[in-house]
Amino acid sequence: MRRMRGFALITTVGLIALAAIIALNYSQTVRQEIKISTFELDRIQAREAAESGIWTALKELVSTQAEEPWPTNSTAQRVAFNGIEIEVAAQDLSGLLDLNTASSANLDTVLEYVLDDAARAAQIRDLILDWRDPDDNTQPFGAEDSDYRANDYAYGAKDAAFHVREELQLLLNLSLDEYRKIAPYVTVHGQSNSANMRVAPDRMLNAMQFSPTSEARIDATPLRPANPSPRSAFRRRFARQRSVYEIFAKAKKGAVTSNVSATVELQSTGRTNSLYTVIEWRESWPFDPTDPTDQPKDEF
């Protein structure tokens, strides 16, 4: 009888232990699922907030009623959506160098400032010129089809305009690190041989002021109007035949950060029923437009 009671006790204790283990595993599973659900909810809310930042900036860009015009030189602005703070920056792309129309001298200025290497800057300048020009004549430090083939590339020089900024990565022997350094300074929507200093971001002003190849040390401060009226800013934006902006928005919810960017064109004609056209939408940033690490080089 005692043996039976002892066996029953051991069995009972074993069952209780098993139940405890099952309960513990279930509890851990529930906690993990709660964490996953919370993360997913935060991800969705952060993304919605970042998207709202894009539309907020776009609304301000086309508005004539704002007390102050929305800055278009990559200056970060803070807005909120459903209690989530959003960092938004807009860049008028005329304030960057156009890969398709920038002069050789201006490419030199920016590339040498960014790379801090005059020889490499000259090589990349000529690679850009050979990529975009329609002929087969090689620039002194550039590359045409035969040079790409000699380096086992499956393609040659495009001999046509850059379609997107990212095409830079196709240039002969251009490293990813070099691309990342150059990308914040260039665009394919500038339509000029130089950058418009009135709307250039600080990094571009630094390049034009402190690059060793700058022919003149310009004082960029007065190039930006102190208090432009919203209406005059609006007129300038729509006065150009083609006015293109890159907008960046960042929102954080919990442990999740969502970065969204868009390239938009403001319409100056009646081509569509909208005041704008979204040219490109990205679920990421091609670079950080508000990166504070780009500072003037004192030795220049």
Q: What is the pLDDT of residues 34-72, one digit of tens each?
A: 677 788 889 999 999 999 999 999 999 988 776 788 999
- Burial of 145 per CB tally in 10 Å (0-12, 13-18, 19+): middle
Residue-level pLDDT at 134: 95
The tens digit of pLDDT for each residue in 16-37 reads: 777 777 777 767 776 777 677 7
The tens digit of pLDDT for each residue in 110-159 reads: 999 999 999 999 999 999 999 999 999 999 999 999 999 999 999 999 99
Find out whether 234 and 69 touch, Cβ atoms under 8 Å: yes
Cα–Cα distance for residue pair 77/55, rounded to 1 Å: 13
pTM: 0.79
Query: 102-184 in CATH: which number?
Result: 1.10.40.60
The tens digit of pLDDT for each residue in 177-236 reads: 999 999 999 999 998 999 999 999 999 999 988 888 765 444 444 455 544 544 455 555
What percent of the chain stands above pLDDT 70?
A: 78
- Residue of 227, 127, 248 whose CA lies nearest to 179: 127
- Residue of 68, 73, 71, 70 whose CA lies nearest to 91: 73
- Residue of 287, 114, 126, 121 whose CA lies nearest to 204: 114
Measure the CA angle with vertex 64, ends 58 and 66; round to 5°: 80
Residue-level pLDDT at 101: 96
Q: Parse the chain into domains and list their residue ranges.
A: 1-96+195-300, 102-184
Residue-level pLDDT at 7: 63
DSSP letters along 235-279, please?
HHHHHSS-EEEEEEEEEEETTEEEEEEEEEEE--SSSSSSSEEEE
3 pLDDT more than 60:
no
Residue-level pLDDT at 140: 95
Find out whether 81 and 260 touch, Cβ atoms under 8 Å: no
Residue-level pLDDT at 214: 63
Cα–Cα distance for residue pair 107/28, rounded to 1 Å: 58
Look-up of token digits 């860049």: 91
Locate 253 and state its tokens.
């919810």
Burial profile 77-89: b = 16 or more Cβ within 10 angstroms, e = fewer: bebebeebebbbb
Residue-level pLDDT at 300: 26
Q: Chain-wide mean pLDDT for the chain?
A: 84
Locate 260 and state its tokens.
């969204």
Cα–Cα distance for residue pair 203/291, rounded to 1 Å: 9
Residue-level pLDDT at 211: 81
95 pLDDT more than 70:
yes
SS3 219: coil
Residue-level pLDDT at 236: 55
Residue-level pLDDT at 297: 40
- Sequence-distant (6+) residues with CB within 8 A of 59 are none
Range name among 76-80, 217-221, 275-279, 282-286 with the lowest pLDDT average: 217-221
How far is Cα of residue 10 from the mean position of the Cα atoms in its chain? 66
Residue-level pLDDT at 6: 62
Span 234-253, average pLDDT? 77
Rounded to whole angstroms, the maximal C-alpha distance in the chain is 106
